[in-house]
């Protein structure tokens, strides 16, 4: 049923489109043919009553009206032909109703050609009108006749200029609308690219951390399964719980991409209150870790708390990967007047095991951390610690500038 209704709608749209196209063609033909046809029809009574050379009048009327059919394609040429024929007519002392073709030709020139060309045509017509008035008007009435004819010519020229200006204005409005639409589409594409980049950063942090923890736990379970099966089972239960949490985080992160996944979209993003749970995961994976908070605690925005959480998560993930056996990690949050200082340090193998920034293994993680810190007009330092180990230090300002606020919005 829906298919049938859709087919009827398509046929109706096609029929309407054909009607519109036919009306446009009819309108174009009417615009081209009506003026010369009307002038020829208006000239018939003068031919019937006679009083002038019929043959010459017919020939001159023909050359006054028929060229109007091409007036939109060759406006200046048509005006020149009509004006020349009018001069011949006035010189022969004939009165023809086809002289109105001069006004139509002038209107067309003014509407389709630059003002300078229209002004030249108007000046030529004024000279011709002056000659015609002197030729046909009585001595006492020539001034009034000239003023009336000049008024008609001026009206035709002004109307043509108005039409040209209006067409140009509508074209500019249409072009501006198209440009705005293109810019809107570009903004949508850029917003989509920013959202994809944000999701990629979040996925990197979530998946890398949880997989690292799961690998460490699985290695530990494999090492003790023969000597302590109960302990291995407990560790594998932790692996299962970590996998479920990773899956839940991934679903929540990607839930915004599915309109029907409202529950996932409503779940909160991680904040600083979940740092203890994060460190519990790291400890369960075999990395002793502690957290210390100093300074005057205050409420932070959800975006800033998410940034702090991801920074700590990425730093601890790198420690799990590269610090080696026997390493310990410490996390320190320092609340300052201008922001929050995040320091993550370990005493593992340090620079001998940690890949440098930009390498295939760690470049994306460090790049993501730098982007997050830059969104808050902050500073990030990552490198080998003394005497051994690796240290990550980031300052996140609580009041980012205007440009940074825009970046924060894209990261959220």
**The pLDDT of residue 326:** 80
Distance CA 21, CA 12 (A): 14
Tally: H helices and E strands in the chain: 12, 5
Residue 383: give its domain's CATH number.
3.30.565.10
* Mean pLDDT along residues 358-373: 64
CA distance from start to end of the chain:
44
Radius of gyration in angstroms for the set of CA atoms belonging to the chain, rounded to a whole number: 42
CA 77 to centroid of chain Cα atoms: 44
Residue after which a domain boundary falls, among 136, 161, 191:
136
| Token pair recorded at residue 254 | 């990607």
Q: Is the pLDDT of residue 74 over 60?
A: yes
Kindly report, residue by residue over 121-157, the tens digit of the pLDDT: 999 999 988 888 887 777 677 788 888 888 999 999 9
Calculated CA dihedral for residues 27, 33, 34, 38, nearest 10 degrees: -170
User: Which letter does DSSP use for residue 291 in this model?
Assistant: E
**The pLDDT of residue 251:** 67
Residue after which a domain boundary falls, among 119, 136, 153:
136
Query: Which residues share a beta bridge with 343?
Result: 332, 393
Q: Is the pLDDT of residue 401 over 50?
A: no
Q: Helix (H, G, I), strand (E, B), or coil: what is residue 331?
A: strand
Provide the number of structural domains found in the chain: 2
**Helix/strand/coil (H/E/C) assignment for every residue in 356-394:** CCCCCCCHHHHHHHHHHHHCCCCEEEEEECCCCCEEEEE
In a domain, 74, yes or no: yes
**The pLDDT of residue 392:** 92
In a domain, 187, yes or no: no
**The pLDDT of residue 356:** 39
In a domain, 362, yes or no: yes
**The pLDDT of residue 94:** 82
Q: How many CA atoms lie within 13 A of 127 on its CB side?
A: 8
In a domain, 130, yes or no: yes
Q: Is the pLDDT of residue 178 over 80?
A: yes
**The pLDDT of residue 48:** 63
65 neighbors 82 (Cβ within 8 angstroms): no
When the pLDDT of each residue in the chain is averaged and rounded to a whole number, the result is: 78
Q: Where are the beta strands (DSSP E) in 75-153?
A: none
Q: Which among 22, 18, 60, 28 is positioned nearest to 43, based on CA atoms? A: 60
**The pLDDT of residue 51:** 58
Q: Is the pLDDT of residue 290 over 80?
A: yes
Output phi, psi for 329, to 5 deg: -130, 150
In a domain, 270, yes or no: no
Domain that holds residue 309: 283-412
Residue after which a domain boundary falls, among 136, 163, 183:
136
Kindly report, residue by residue over 184-226, the tens digit of the pLDDT: 877 777 776 776 676 677 777 777 777 777 777 787 778 777 7
In a domain, 244, yes or no: no
Q: Is the pLDDT of residue 409 over 70?
A: no
| Token pair recorded at residue 85 | 């024929």
């Amino acid at each position: 049923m829906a298919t049938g209704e859709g087919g009827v709608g398509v046929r109706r749209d096609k029929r309407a489109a054909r009607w519109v196209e036919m009306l446009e063609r009819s309108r174009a033909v009417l615009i081209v043919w009506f003026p010369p046809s009307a002038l020829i029809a208006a000239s018939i009574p003068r031919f019937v009553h006679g009083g002038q050379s019929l043959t010459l009048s017919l020939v001159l009327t023909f050359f006054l009206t028929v060229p109007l059919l091409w007036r939109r394609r060759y406006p200046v040429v048509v005006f020149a032909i009509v004006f020349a024929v009018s001069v011949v007519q006035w010189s022969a002392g004939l009165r023809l109703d086809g002289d109105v073709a001069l006004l139509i030709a002038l209107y067309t020139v003014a509407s389709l050609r630059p003002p300078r060309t229209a002004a030249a045509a108007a000046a030529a017509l004024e000279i011709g009108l002056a000659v015609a008035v002197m030729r046909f008007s009585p001595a006492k009435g020539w001034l009034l006749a000239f003023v009336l004819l000049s008024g008609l010519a001026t009206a035709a020229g002004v109307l043509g200029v108005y039409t040209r200006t209006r067409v140009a204005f509508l074209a500019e409005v249409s072009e501006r609308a198209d440009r705005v639409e293109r810019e809107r589409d570009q903004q949508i594409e850029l917003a989509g690219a920013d959202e994809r980049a944000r999701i990629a950063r979040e996925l990197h942090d979530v998946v890398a951390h949880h997989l690292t923890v799961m690998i460490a736990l699985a290695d530990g379970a494999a090492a003790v399964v023969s000597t302590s099966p109960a302990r291995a089972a407990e560790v594998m239960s932790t692996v299962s719980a970590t996998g479920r949490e990773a899956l839940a985080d991934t679903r929540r992160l990607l839930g915004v991409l599915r309109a029907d996944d409202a529950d996932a979209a409503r779940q909160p993003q991680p904040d600083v209150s979940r740092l203890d749970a994060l460190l519990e995961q790291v400890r369960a994976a075999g990395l002793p870790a502690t957290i210390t908070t100093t300074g005057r605690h205050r409420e932070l925005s959800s975006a800033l708390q998410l940034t702090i959480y991801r920074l700590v998560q990425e730093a601890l993930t790198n420690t799990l990967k590269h610090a080696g056996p026997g390493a310990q990690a410490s996390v320190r949050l320092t609340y300052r007047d201008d922001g929050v200082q995040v320091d993550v340090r370990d005493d593992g193998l340090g620079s001998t095991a940690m890949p440098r920034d930009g390498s295939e293994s760690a470049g994306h993680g460090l790049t993501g951390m730098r982007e997050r810190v830059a969104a808050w007009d902050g500073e990030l330092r990552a490198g080998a610690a003394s005497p051994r180990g690796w240290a990550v230090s980031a300052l996140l300002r609580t009041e980012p500038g205007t440009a940074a606020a825009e970046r924060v919005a894209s990261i959220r």
